Structure 1
Amino acid sequence: MPSSSRPSRPSSRSTAKTLLACAGVVLAAAALGLASWQATAPDDRPARGGGAVSQPRSEDSGARAELLKLARREAGDRLAVGRQDAPVVLIEYSDFKCGYCGKFARDTEPELIRKYVEDGTLRIEWRNFPIFGEESEAAAKAAWAAGQQDRFQQFHAAAYAPGAKEKGFGAERLLELAREAGVPDLERFSRDMAGEAAAAALARDREEGSRIGVASTPSFLVNGRPIAGAQPYGTFAAVIDGARAEAAR
């Protein structure tokens, strides 16, 4: 079964030909193409692993070098967990309305944090990549606003709790999620969510993902190696272990 989601498009063949904004990332987009982004409607079917990690080839070195540069390692990034100097960076492009993103958030990410983030091996950097319309965009801005009060991880957990996406992400629901997340100043939260800084942060993440060919969620880069979809824990662990060993050489 497919393990990533994207909205309905006129033609799956046409979506495979993602427009690139800059010639300098053509190789990066080619590497992402090797990961074979899956096209499905968002639902909660179990994900199945296999065939979703790009395999190393000698000609991929230039592409991976471009993708490695996407790790921001910003000290003040409130949408990231893990040491700024961790040897491995996992970048996640996700949508709060994506069922498979929720599956990864509930089933896989907590174990990655316990095993790899807590020992300093891994840093996880979130990228808001809403693809399911206005409510997806609103949820992305709300998550960013929660992060400004150091409650991104708590908001992330509340928004991906079982059954949460079925309740939608309207204005009142986002305030409810902020309360669940323990956001201390809800008036500031509402201002931040509607402000220019939230829109700019969302645009930055979207531009980055679109520029390298992300077409479905969740999509990941682990030290420049693409992984498509909510693959099993073992898939991520193998790629992280390999990236750690490679970084140590």
Structure 2
Amino acid sequence: MKSHQQAARLRQARQRRNRRVAIAAGAVVAFLGVVLAAQLTGGRAGPIAGPAADPSSPAASASAGGARAGEFAFVRRQHSDPMAVGAVDAPVVLVQWTDMRCPFCAVFNRETLPVLQREYVDTGKVRIEIHDVAFFGEQSEDGAVAARAAAEQGRFFEYLAAAYRDAPDKGHPDLPRERLVAFAEKAGVPDLGRFTADLDDAGLRAAARSSNSEAGRLGVTTVPFFVAGGTSLSGAQPIAVFRQYLDAAIAKAG
């Protein structure tokens, strides 16, 4: 009797897993009509605040990569981009939209991102570029500013890891100023005084607001949200789904 019950439970678990994969495959949807319209009108995602991202700077112009032919305009491919990881000339760029108060973004960062970095980024196949959004109120925007402040000192991904490591399994965490500073300390941001001052930097806040507005214009309404190889993927999907998704994008890139 027990063996029959165990077999039934295993079948149900497999069915649930298969449904999740099917849903994930269906989530690789074309929001591309909206995005293409953005490209045709010359739209770009909000730039990272700071001299290195200033398009009028000769040094920035010399070092910037920029989206390749056939890529969307929000793909940056910029050298020394503190909100990106991986080779600037990687065959595929995985663009992610994330919110500092999003529990599913935290799950992706903790469970899936390290695997993607090891299997795809470190092997030169994929570059990951982050765009921040503020879907869950003022503290989401404060978190985006804080992450950009950490990026100013080269600790962007370490800051995300520190914040998402402490995120609850459910609900949206509170991000008061003292907690944002505590994350910076955990992330190894070298100059905490500068970081704290940057939390009030008008340029960083304007950049975060611009990124959030651009996400809305492109049709990004949920997080985490990803685009690679001309298709999109929504949610903290299982690693098997991400492998299938990125392998297809790499094959398409040739």
Match of 2:209 in 1: 203
Alignment CA distance shift 1:90-1:65 (3 Å):
farther
Equivalent residue, structure 1, for 2:57: none
Residue 28 of structure 2 corresponds to residue 53 of structure 1? yes
Query: 2:180 aligns to what?
Result: 174
Q: 1:167 to 1:52 in 2, by over 3 A?
A: closer
Structure with the larger RCO, 1 or 2 (CA within 8 Å, 6+ apart) = 1
1:238 to 1:154, Cα distance in 2 relative to 1, 3 A: same
Is it true that 1:128 corresponds to 2:118 in the alignment? no
CA shift for structure 1 position 99: 0.7
1:147 counterpart letter in structure 2 = A
| Whole-Å separation in 2 of the counterparts to 1:208 and 1:84 | 23
> Greater helix share, 1 or 2?
2
- Which residue of structure 2 aligns with residue 230 of structure 1? 236
Q: Based on CA coordinates, which of the two structures has the bigger radius of gyration? A: 2
> Aligned partners of 1:200, 1:84: CA distance in 2, in Å?
26
Q: Is the 8 A contact 2:229 2:252 kept in 1?
A: no
Q: Tell me the distance in 2 between the aligned counterparts of 1:73 and 1:247.
A: 15
Q: Secondary structure at the match of 1:194?
A: coil
Tell me the equivalent position of 1:244: 250
Instruction: Name 1:13's counterpart in structure 2.
Output: none
Q: Which runs of 4+ in 1 moved over 3 A?
A: 62-67, 162-167
- What is the number of residues matched between the two proteins? 199
Q: Is the 8 A contact 1:91 1:127 kept in 2?
A: yes
Q: Are the aligned partners of 1:64 and 1:224 in contact in 2 as well (CA < 8 Å)?
A: no
Find the aligned partners of 2:180 and 2:223 in 1 and give their Cα distance. 21
**1:214 corresponds to 2:189:** no
Q: Which of residues 151, 158, 168 is equivalent to 1:154?
A: 158
Identical aligned residues as a percent: 40
Does 1:115 find its partner at 2:90?
no
Contact 1:65–1:224 (CA under 8 A) maintained in structure 2: no
Deviations 1:70-129, CA, capped at 9 Å, x for gaps: 211111310110011111011111111111111111111110000000011111111111
Superposed CA RMSD: 2.5
Do the aligned residues in 2 keep the contact of 1:102 with 1:161 (CA within 8 Å)? yes
Q: Which amino acid aligns with 1:70?
A: F
Gaps of 5+ in 1: 1-46
Corresponding residue for 2:16? none
Pick the aligned partner of 2:94 from 81, 84, 90: 90
8 Å Cα contact 2:97/2:224 also seen in 1? yes
Which structure 2 segments of 5+ residues have no match?
Answer: 1-18, 40-70
1:48 CA drift (Å): 3.8
- Calculate the TM-score normalised by the size of structure 2: 0.72
| Shift in alpha-carbon separation, 1:223–1:197, aligned structure 2, 3 A | farther
Whether the 8 Å contact between 2:145 and 2:204 is mirrored in structure 1 is yes
- Letter paired with 1:235: V
SS of equivalent residue, structure 1 residue 177: helix
